[in-house]
Structure 1
């Protein structure tokens, strides 16, 4: 059962986003980017107040995704990424992105905090960051 409302256009949009942000990280990395996106829709806290839809989340500005500024994001969604997007929409969570609202790719090690948010771990090139339970209880 879906944890957020999503129609087929939303699935395609998330599929394109996870591919554009993390294709080089493999399926697990793309699932984690999907986790972050779903969490941002669920959160309604901090930088993500009033982000209620897939479109709100993907095109959030400022604070959104760099991928939407690149042509690769606008290519058609593929079945592989659609399946991954559906898994995250249906609530599948993958550590270290389980409760994460942010990720980024540093040039070296993951800093212990990023914009005052705690590091929850690294997967390949991406570091993931979580809010406190007090600040964002809906992602826990």
Structure 2
């Protein structure tokens, strides 16, 4: 059962986002990017207050995703990424992104914090960061 309300267009939007942000990270990396996106919709805290829909989350500005500025993002969604998007929409969570609201790709090691948010771990090139339970209880 979905943890956020979506339609088929939302599934395609998330599918395109996870491919554009993390295709090089493989299926697990794309699932983690999906986790972050779903968490942003669920959280209603910090940088993500009033982010209530897939469109709000994907096109948030400032603070959104670099991928939406690249032509690759605007290609059609593929079945593989749609399946991964549905898995995250249905609540599948993958560590270190289980409770993450942010990720980025550093040139070197992951810092212990990023904008005062704790590092929850790294997967391949991406470092993931979580808020405190006190700041964002809905993510936990």
Give the TM bin, normalised by the shorter chain.
over 0.9
Asked if 1:89 corresponds to 2:89, the answer is yes
Q: How does 1:9-88 map to 2 (within 5 A)?
A: 9-88=9-88
Give the secondary structure class of the aligned counterpart of 2:23. helix
Q: What are structure 2's unaligned runs of at least 5 residues?
A: none
Paired position in structure 1 for 2:132 = 132
Query: By how many angstroms is 1:29 displaced?
Result: 0.1
Q: CA separation in 1, counterparts of 2:106 and 2:71?
A: 23
Distance in 1, matches of 2:10 and 2:99, equals 21
Q: Structure 1 length normalisation: TM-score?
A: 1.00
Deviation at 1:107, TM superposition (A): 0.2
In the alignment, structure 1 segments of 5+ residues that lack a partner are: none
Question: What's the CA shift for 1:20?
Answer: 0.0
How many residues were matched structurally?
140
| 1:98 alignment partner in structure 2 | 98
SS at match of 1:129: strand
Aligned-residue RMSD, C-alpha:
0.1
Deviation at 1:41, TM superposition (A): 0.0
- Equivalents in 2 of 1:58, 1:126: separation in Å? 18
**What is residue 112 of structure 1 aligned with on the other side?**
112
The CA deviation at 1:57 is: 0.0
